[in-house]
Chain A
């Protein structure tokens, strides 16, 4: 009985472990069918390719190496594929974008880092290594995103940022339903997302709770980015300068007098002690010399 139990346990552990390993190392990605079929709405050409190369070098090259140059980071497990290789090029454009947006294990997701348009540019760069590739353009009209009106209002009492997403269609203003809304705050090295991505409701409204302790500039201003992503209207973003941060004006780190600071900012006590010490020593010397002179003059030697 006991042995049996142990066996089942072992079996369960073993199968779980196998599943986990398979999950981690499987070469295939479970890309949903609708994502697989996605195509780029920008035409891949030399310009998009060279723009994509810059993005690739900044975000992908440290692991995937330069395509075809065989400088992949082999110490990683699983080893990242050379993206100009056959297996990677066999993936559809939609697959590649899905992988960029989701990530897995060591592969980070770039959803909030690289915009959809820039993601297509990276893919454009990679497709340049495949002579057999023929691009199929998506039917999405990028001009549709121009119809989107994004407005953000901040309720300082409840600390909630309310975003309204409306489309200016010919039939009048209609709310954009179930669109992804992500709110970011601009920081020095990148945009920081506030809370999680939310979906708009039936009125095109979405709300994000804003933290109260976010440092702003000297006057408390924050540059708030609101990004909308919708299947029909594409990616749209607006920037608002809102005075909702904590005013921050910290002094320079080398402002205070300290023993480690430059001579001009040395502590008063060090300066005075040093100067007084030298002065006192000179006085002492003069006193001793004077004594010697007196001794000589008295001719007692």
Chain B
């Protein structure tokens, strides 16, 4: 307080001019620095910048001088989509129930699947088989996707951890790691896997698409593909492609932990265990101990008869 009062006021004009001078000099220096900076920036060519894909899958441009390389741990070698695909959804155990009594061989499931996963017409993630088990038993249509076993023989034989089982039960393939040895095809008792022998159908179109493990798109020549339980759709709370495309109410899909499955056609949700108990649900080849996550309801009380044109193909199973 007292300081302020004692300060002489006489020099205030000189001080003022001094301040103005300082400010002027400062702004000239600052301005020229900015101008030089802009000039420097403009002179930079494309070679001074670098394009980087962020973890959120955004393409950004940064200056080369700003880039710092960080030593990678093994966990960080995966991209965001790869890691997400490996992690799965916590607290879920997906199950599918296929009601054979309702299948009319409409093949809409196959169509929806092939278009979603960019497959060739002869490649099937899901295939409606024409079945005849013995000569005296009736023939029936049987859609067969990957069984997503709880004890999967395919992942046991993979030498590079390219195929793996997630916490929610889905068995997936990471084509960035797949070496195309096809051990898994040989190991799978359900013939659920296909190999990309030829250049994939949309390889030109998918050139710039970032690889999504949960969709296996883009497909890549020399790698394996198979049913993914539509892991990308399930993440969004939607039913798998095949399930929602079926016009006949064949498919139920849901979470075993919630004891509920939802029909893809009627969108009706019912209790999973009760559905199996009431209709005599079973799994394919239980004697192998693979513990499939796909359950079947027997073709009892079919309304739609087996078509004569399909008999020949069905009889092939009789051997």
Contact = CB atoms under 8 A, between A and B. Distances in A.
Interface of A: 58-59, 62-63, 73, 75-77, 106, 108-110, 112-113, 185, 187-193, 213-215, 248-250, 252-255, 258-263
B227 to A, nearest CB: 17
B247 A187 contact: no
7 contacts: A110-B267, A188-B92, A191-B269, A193-B269, A253-B168, A255-B167, A260-B152
Given A62-B244, A62-B245, A108-B266, A187 B165 contact: no
Contacts of B167: 252-255
Contact of B153 (A62, A75, A260): A260
A289 B115 CA distance: 61
A260 B156 contact: yes
Given A76-B247, A108-B267, A261-B165, 6 more contacts: A106-B248, A189-B239, A192-B260, A248-B257, A253-B168, A260-B151
A215 B257 CA distance: 7
Given A62-B244, A260-B151, A190 B104 contact: no
A76 B104 CA distance: 8
Contacts, number: 108
Interface string B135-151: 00000000000000011
Q: Is the interface of B mostly helix, strand, loop or mixed?
A: loop
A226 to B, nearest CB: 16
A215 B258 contact: yes
B306 interface: no
Contacts of B260: 185, 187-189, 192
A73 B108 contact: yes
Contacts of B258: 187-188, 215, 248
Q: Which 3 A-B pairs have the closest CB atoms?
A: A252-B167, A108-B266, A189-B262
Contact of A58 (B150, B244, B247): B244
Contact of B156 (A190, A192, A259): A259
Given A192-B270, A250-B93, A260-B165, A75 B249 contact: no
Contacts of A75: 104-106
